[in-house]
Amino acid sequence: MSSLIKHFNDCQKIHQLLKKAKTDELAENLYWYNLSIKFASSKFGFLKVFFWRIWNKFLNMFFFLKKIKNSAYSENYQKENPKNYGTESIYHKTIEKKSPNLSNPSIWNFKILTSKPWHEDDKWSNYLEENCDVIKDEFLSSKFKTIEHPGNKMLAENGKWSSITLIGAQGKSLKHESDFPNTFNLLKNMPINETYGFVAFSKLTPGTHIKPHTGSSNLRLRYHLGIDVPEPDLVKIRVGDDIKPWIEDKCIVFDDSFEHEVFHNGKKDRIVFIVDLWHPKIKDSYVNILKLDEFKNFGKL
């Protein structure tokens, strides 16, 4: 009951924000799962979530009555939602599988935003490459070791996927901020998407295959900076229909709301630095609204 009360209060906050901002385009086209944020934050939207939870609890008690829908991912994967770094949602819906070359985010979808699987180098990819030595040296000298990535059990075949998260679902990691001061100083100059994105060091052991999946939001672009890529010909990522390698000290840019998967056919670990930035096609006025805590915490238990 407390989670529903919290969600009701959050709905009111979002509703007032959208009303004050007078942004019908954002309110009507930004979807949270299968609900527009305009509807989701309304009283009718709250009631839909309320009755969905009651019905879902009933079905969980009598799971044999529950129909299995054709979705891109197993229901277990969608429910545990590792793409959101373990954050549980008060409401969720499975997503239908689409063509790899169509954006298909599982949680937040700004439906009028045009994008593509791969993006060209830009000032931020150049910025990361120019400061690669600083980031790399700080990572290699750190006493921290990567821990299991929340998506490892659901998505990784063979091998292991692990990470060190500097900015995640709970915001900046204070314990890491003091140990990666130079990296955090560099991040201050970038439009980090802290609402729907992450900043992390990501490690794959040899033989790992990350199964096809899509990210939680199309409101970001994902930057991968090669930190330790000893076998670029043997460790690659597919986004949409195109496959590219990581190259040490170089950056690749893609929209992870498109289907992607990773193949590690080498014999040495691969480490990249992941930075999520606001998608450049989103209006600054919208970003100023979306970066507020009311959106960051919406629907999270």
Examine the pLDDT at 64 and tell me if it is beyond 70. Answer: no
Give the number of other CB atoms < 10 A from CB of residue 267.
Answer: 11
Q: Kindly state which CATH superfamily the domain 118-278 is placed in.
A: B-lactam Antibiotic, Isopenicillin N Synthase; Chain (2.60.120.330)
Q: Among residues 109, 139, 79, 76, which one has the least CA distance to residue 273?
A: 139
Examine the pLDDT at 93 and tell me if it is beyond 80. Answer: yes
The mean per-residue pLDDT over the stretch 244-264 comes to: 97
Give the number of other CB atoms < 10 A from CB of residue 168.
Answer: 20
Q: Among residues 164, 161, 242, 165, which one has the least CA distance to residue 206?
A: 161
User: What's residue 70's pLDDT?
Assistant: 42
> Structure pTM?
0.92
Per DSSP, the chain holds a count of helices (H) and strands (E) of 12, 16
- Mean pLDDT of all residues belonging to the chain: 90
State the DSSP code for 4: H
149-162 tens-digit pLDDT: 988 888 888 899 99
CA–CA separation, 101 vs 284, rounded Å?
26
Question: CB pairs under 8 A, 24+ apart, for 17-24?
Answer: 17/289, 17/292, 17/294, 18/289, 21/285, 21/289, 23/285, 23/286, 23/289
| Range name among 44-53, 115-124, 148-157, 251-260 with the lowest pLDDT average | 148-157
Examine the pLDDT at 84 and tell me if it is beyond 80. Answer: no
**Which residues in the chain are classed under CATH 2.60.120.330?**
118-278
